[in-house]
Chains A and B, each alone.
Chain A
């Protein structure tokens, strides 16, 4: 997770703590809400089931009472042969005596009550004006085809009818309990069907009865018949007109249809019926009437059930938010007081960065990490002050030494002949030399001068090592070389002399390699001696040859060392090229040496060229090769071109 940038550590820490705390709080609230709901649902289920079952039980008791009376009555009619008057009195007594019973009749099969009377069914029912009498056996009310008569006859069993509107009878919505009775056979066994005894229960009365059963403010109830028809309903217009299934079809709800089937199939149940019924999201508990297969449902609105915990949740959330705001304020103040020394340190750092090292952090007196940081910071400023002072002194000292060294380097260079052409009046030879020092002051040297009109003396040398010691050694060598060569002795004598002088008390073990030559300008004869120096190259007309290995060791090491005199003849147009190892041992960035092979290659190309041209070409080749690799050693070259005596 990428956090946004904060300008203050205090705000950042506080916000992070707040986010964490709020998250935990929200989780706790959500969990307790969930658990509370579960508990409430469980309790509600228990309560609703109990309620539905107890109401159903009460209703059934009423219905059962009706059924018992009717059954007893039927038994009476079956066994006792009553005349018309007594029958009517009995029926009337049943209706007036029983509160539950709206109306009652005894309906006979044709011609079984009186041989001449086809239909006989005296009916008494309650009305606002008292108990009324109707003879149902009339042309307008053919009771033989009514369900309440027909069904018990067919089934030979007592039956509760579906609720119906009894037009021409009681003229109310009612349900009828019909109990069949039979002729008595000779042996006392049951004979042929003779008629039914009925008792009507008014749906209105049932509804009132239900209404009187207090269900509580969270629930509403309804009753459906065996067919699912609403006997009482959450909506008045549904009563007797709609069934659970017709409503389910209208709503297109498979769920309601399923609930309806379950209500009529199961003894009791509890389902989350959502908002299928009017009144919103609810639970439904139901219980079936064993006596007639009806089912009573109690609806519990969730909003009412959960109202208490929702209030609790709101209250908790409100308290949580208020607490969070308070916590934020307190944390912010605390965090700011913790980070105050940090801000002070930040200021101090800014001051130090601009060079003001005298910062006072004594106000930060703490034992924690910040205190230790402040102490370390204070120590750092003290150390810094100290180091800066030392550095300033050291820099001054180094600048002085560097200044002196550069003067030394200038002096060193001034000891070497550097004016070219060196002998502009001489046409019989030319000599050219160059010394490119490495970064540090070094120890390469060369020298040349005319011994007399006919002899040119020259030398090139390389002192081991670098720096001031090498430069001093080089200066001594140059001085000794000049004095030794001035006497006109042969080259091996010059080296010999130098060696003796330098070997004495040479505790530092420094040495110099040196090639020394004397060229006879009349004859072209070159006498030379080599003390451990790289063999020079001779550029002849058609080839470049390397002179043989040195005739003696490096100069300044062995006092008893001997140097061999050697000679060769230079023909007009030939050039002797001498150099120090700075040329062949120049490195390129890939750590390769320039090498004698490459030098040889360059010189091959420069055969017959003038001395300055040859030196320039080699210098160019070395620099191109080395690219930007730092120069490790001085590069020194000296070239002598002999033109021959005729040109003098």
Chain B
């Protein structure tokens, strides 16, 4: 470790020990390599590039991989994972987890359908109310977790099941087509081929800035890094957690609407725990700590891209649906191992 006591004056501002003092011996490539590897998102980026090379040039799928259709397909697999993942990043950073966004995802389009078709609510208001439903679920998650003191794992497991049951009960587990009156707005939310990618990029950009350049992000990190210390410093830990539960849930609701418009179906088997686990996995592959205190939005985005590339690529290669889960599981594990190894390298780089 480079722990040295330095006080007043002489040492300290030079290059870190281990690098030669004059930079004559250090060429640009090496230096930019060091800078790159120090970025936490670097490892998952490398994995994503390797997957693109494999599926695009090496595998039997290469002829179909770079087609417009396939690229749209990848973005449409990625978007739901990524958008929920960036919410989970905020929650994981402040030391909590949400298991329920997949069920907010499930319920939101049904709620929109009920409001328009059964209660005559205008389309735009129905969409807004479906998103508000997400906020309310987040509020409930926050209440039981922060105010009552139930671990978020249990709280959100429970709210997830309640929403699941509510959806299946009210919909009789039958799929429906989104109301015709909502088609216009739906086009911009999910029907238009590039809309999902666009929303993902907008949300990733905004939340990346929120996490890294605002008080909210700073206080989220402080909350997860040292909750007692954050509270001592006057950080409103409860507000931060409530807010991040609400963020994750409302993103879940948005994804539900988006996917319903894209498929032009409101499907009672959409979302669920699967959607949530893909997102949490993407966040963790992207470098977010499960135990709180650190995480990156760009990493979660790239993690989602890795999962989408895997799912799309195996599909292109034509691996049977029965086998694909096995390979997917193994591939996720391999991606994470690569990540941990590269992180170790990065740690070594930092220490030298």
Q: Does A pair with B?
A: no
Q: Which residues of B contact A (CB under 8 A)?
A: none
